Amino acid sequence: MSDTAEAGRVLLRPEIDRMLDIMSERRRRLILLLLKRGTVETTDDVMLRGNGESDTSEIQLVHSHLPKLEDAGYIEWDRDAGDISKGPRFDDIEPLLELIENHADELPPGWP
């Protein structure tokens, strides 16, 4: 099978759709990239990176973004302590994070 055919087959997998859905929100991309870099451990760390975002951002973080990342298995999140760590499926999304990091200069402005 050619490299092009293999790449096309990979891009059609449902897991890719889920990863891209997760990555479609800037806040979730940021959380995953910070976890990859080892620079985030708590929800407070994530809020500090938001610099001046409103209370609605915190509500979205704890009621939307973190639960979605946790449901996908990309993070483990202790709601009571606020701790965030890599989840059991973090390795699945890490290649996509590396691709983003390695080609950051080619991405549109505003990407984390």
DSSP-derived pairing of the beta strands 83-86 and 75-78: antiparallel
Backbone φ and ψ of 85, nearest 5°: -145, 170
Give the chain's domains with CATH numbers.
13-102 (1.10.10.10)
2 DSSP 8-state letter: -
Token pair of 41 as six digits: 């451990």
Chunked into runs of 10 residues, the chain (112 residues) has average pLDDT values of 58 80 90 91 80 69 94 95 95 92 80 58
Helix %, strand %, coil % for the chain, to 5? 65, 10, 30
- Cβ contact 27:61 at 8 Å: yes
- Give the pLDDT of residue 37: 92
- Provide the pLDDT for residue 109: 77
Q: Which amino acid is at 77?
A: W
